[in-house]
């Protein structure tokens, strides 16, 4: 276990945040380096410039890096977890919207939306545990 001001952080939460970090870091780096190839492989039309792919990819990478903060000290980084809830929920909601409207560019995005919903559920669960812990 890790501690922050004598507050033990269970190893399971540390592993969860590490997996969340590695997932987004890996996904971001794949699109940073090979985004055009990925989009071509799934049959999507490429944007007019690679910067459109890389700008989104760097955001995903940095978001992943931010999850290393709660991995290191979850109790002291609840704010990052709340940002993660918004980030994961936003991606899943946007993907669902495009799917419902018949405008999702590829079904390739559906598993990522499902994964993000699972991470969001885990983040919310952690925040509930953290709130109960604060309440005593």
Q: Which residue range forms the structural domain that includes residue 123? A: 2-135
pLDDT in tens, 63-121: 999 999 999 999 999 999 999 999 999 999 999 999 999 999 999 999 999 999 999 99
Across the range 28-55, mean pLDDT stands at: 95
Question: How far is residue 100's CA from residue 109's CA, in Å, rounded to a whole number?
Answer: 13
- The domain tally of the chain equals 1
Predicted local confidence at residue 33, as pLDDT: 97
The pLDDT of residue 136 is above 90: no
Task: Report the b/e string of 108-136 with b at 16+ CB within 10 A.
Answer: ebeeebebbbebbebbbebeeebeeeeee
Question: How far is residue 12's CA from residue 33's CA, in Å, rounded to a whole number?
Answer: 31
Task: Give the predicted TM-score (pTM) of the model.
Answer: 0.90
Question: How far is residue 99's CA from residue 91's CA, in Å, rounded to a whole number?
Answer: 12
The pLDDT mean for the chain works out to 94
CA atoms within 13 A on the CB side of 121: 7
Banded model confidence at residue 6, pLDDT cuts 50, 70, 90 = low
Predicted local confidence at residue 1, as pLDDT: 46
pLDDT in tens, 46-69: 999 999 999 999 999 999 999 999
């Amino acid at each position: 276990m890790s501690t922050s001001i004598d507050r033990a952080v269970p190893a399971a939460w540390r592993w969860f945040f590490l997996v969340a970090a590695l997932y987004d870091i890996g996904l971001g780096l794949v699109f940073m380096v090979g985004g055009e190839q990925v989009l071509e492989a799934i049959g999507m039309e490429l944007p007019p410039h690679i910067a459109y792919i890389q700008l989104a990819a760097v955001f995903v990478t940095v978001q992943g890096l931010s999850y290393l903060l709660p991995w290191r000290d979850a109790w002291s980084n609840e704010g990052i977890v709340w940002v993660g809830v918004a980030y994961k929920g936003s991606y899943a909601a946007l993907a669902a919207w495009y799917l419902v409207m018949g405008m999702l560019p590829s079904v390739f995005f559906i598993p990522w939306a499902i994964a993000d919903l699972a991470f969001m559920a885990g983040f919310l669960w952690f925040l509930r545990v953290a709130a109960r812990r604060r309440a005593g």
